[in-house]
């Protein structure tokens, strides 16, 4: 018997505070109209003082467990994708493991692949399950990008938001995750990065606090993202012998409405079959796909048996796509 993994439940959490484009007009030289037209974003959520990545990840995980009709005791693997962990160590996955009350000894670790993190985490959990290393997994994407934004840089501060999404993945004899396609190319790393890390020491950060903030050459990233995502969705269609238009729902990483529209065109899909949350969430990096998935599952658009294509592109560059029978 072939072993597969299937999504059994989804959940998400958004911090209470909403920051509108109008509020950003007061911070930087921008306009609501520019942000809407160039990105599709109207508002985003931002964590409260003292609210961390582990907190919002835990809320999303609890919602996914609820939806699956399971408790933390049923989970034997937790994979958490983030670029904004609470501590250097242990991983945020360890913090979430204890907060959820998961069994001690269950596996928990973080994955860092920037905005592609959830796709990388989902593939990792799927491989654990298919090879018998785990039976049920929580796969979480959680980010607090508001902490690493330069709020004086209009090229980045209008784009990102905070949030968390999660899925429960379970061993099954029916196909769920059908194929995953991951890629990395570090050669263009300077186009999108946070050019500081603990290995450089805190003195470096004291000399230049902006070293701990996101830098992005947006227009160049945009062009690579459109080209690369077009290629990876083509790769999925070919690998699975699928016609254009065969996908029921495209659930893309929510970076920019124009990037999503270009990928939908490539797949022969009208925008009505693309799950769009960027208008209300902004770009929540590794959290954006599970957030969008949860929204469309809960409002009834995504139904059991449908074919979903999840795709993401992010710093690294990293990119990937996953074909899912929901």
Please report, as ranges, the residues that interact with ligand COA according to CB under 6 A. Answer: 30, 34-35, 38-39, 115, 154-155, 158, 216, 218-219, 221-222, 225, 255-256, 259, 283, 313-314
Residue 259 dihedral angles phi and psi, to the nearest 5°: -70, -40
Contact 322, 121 (CB under 8 A): no
Q: Position of tokens 């469309």?
A: 296
Least separation in angstroms between residue 265's CB and ligand COA is 17
Determine which one of 53, 94, 115, 157 is catalytic: 115
DSSP 3-state of 181: strand
Of the two residues 225 and 297, which places its CB atom closer to ligand COA in the complex? 225
The residue at minimum Cβ distance from ligand COA is 218
Least separation in angstroms between residue 131's CB and ligand COA is 30
Of the two residues 25 and 74, which places its CB atom closer to ligand COA in the complex? 25
Contact 298, 15 (CB under 8 A): no
Residue 116's CB is within 10 A of a number of other CB atoms, namely: 29
Least separation in angstroms between residue 217's CB and ligand COA is 8
In this structure, the chain runs to a length of 326
Angle at 318 between CA 312 and CA 322, to 5 degrees: 40
Q: Indicate if 183 belongs to the active site.
A: no
Of the two residues 47 and 225, which places its CB atom closer to ligand COA in the complex? 225
DSSP state of 304: T
Least separation in angstroms between residue 128's CB and ligand COA is 26
Beta bridge partners of 100: none
C-alpha dihedral (156, 158, 162, 167), degrees to nearest 10? -90
Q: Indicate if 115 belongs to the active site.
A: yes
Residue 94 parent element (H or E) = helix 92-100
Of the two residues 161 and 176, which places its CB atom closer to ligand COA in the complex? 161
Determine which one of 21, 53, 181, 253 is catalytic: 253
Determine which one of 21, 45, 53, 283 is catalytic: 283
Please name which of 240, 263, 234, 255 lies closest in space to residue 314, comparing C-alpha atoms.
Answer: 255
Of the two residues 158 and 247, which places its CB atom closer to ligand COA in the complex? 158
Of the two residues 155 and 230, which places its CB atom closer to ligand COA in the complex? 155
Least separation in angstroms between residue 283's CB and ligand COA is 6
Least separation in angstroms between residue 311's CB and ligand COA is 11
Residue 184's CB is within 10 A of a number of other CB atoms, namely: 12
Give per-residue burial for 301-324: e unless 16+ CB within 10 Å, then b: ebeeeeebbbbbbbbbbbbbbbbb
Residues annotated as catalytic are: 115, 253, 283
């Amino acid at each position: 018997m072939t072993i597969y993994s299937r999504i059994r439940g989804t959940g998400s959490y958004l911090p209470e505070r909403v920051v509108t484009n109008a509020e950003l007009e007061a911070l930087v030289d921008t306009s609501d109209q520019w942000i809407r037209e160039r990105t599709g974003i109207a508002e985003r959520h931002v964590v409260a003082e003292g609210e961390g990545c582990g907190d919002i990840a835990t809320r999303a995980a609890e919602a996914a467990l609820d939806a699956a009709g399971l408790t933390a005791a049923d989970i034997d693997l937790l994979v958490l994708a983030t670029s904004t962990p609470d501590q250097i160590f242990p991983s945020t996955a360890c913090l979430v493991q204890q907060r959820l009350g998961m069994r001690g000894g269950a596996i928990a670790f973080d994955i860092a692949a920037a905005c592609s993190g959830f796709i990388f985490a989902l593939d990792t959990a799927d491989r654990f399950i298919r090879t018998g290393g785990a039976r049920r997994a929580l796969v979480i994407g959680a980010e607090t990008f508001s902490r690493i934004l330069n709020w004086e840089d209009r090229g980045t501060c209008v784009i990102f938001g905070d949030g968390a999404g999660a899925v429960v993945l379970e061993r099954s004899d029916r196909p769920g995750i059908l194929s995953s396609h991951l890629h990395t190319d570090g050669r263009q790393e300077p186009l999108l990065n946070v050019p500081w890390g603990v290995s450089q020491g805190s003195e470096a950060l004291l000399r230049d606090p902006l070293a701990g903030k996101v830098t992005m050459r947006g227009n160049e990233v945009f062009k690579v993202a459109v080209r690369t995502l077009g290629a990876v969705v083509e790769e999925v269609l070919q690998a699975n012998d699928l016609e254009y238009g065969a996908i029921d729902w495209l659930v893309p990483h929510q970076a920019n409405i124009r990037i999503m529209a270009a990928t939908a065109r490539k797949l022969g899909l009208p925008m009505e079959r693309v799950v769009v949350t960027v208008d209300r969430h902004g770009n929540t990096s590794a959290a954006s796909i599970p957030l969008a998935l949860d929204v469309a599952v809960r409002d009834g658009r995504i139904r059991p048996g449908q074919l979903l294509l999840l795709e993401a592109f992010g710093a690294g560059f990293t990119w990937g796509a996953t074909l899912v029978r929901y």
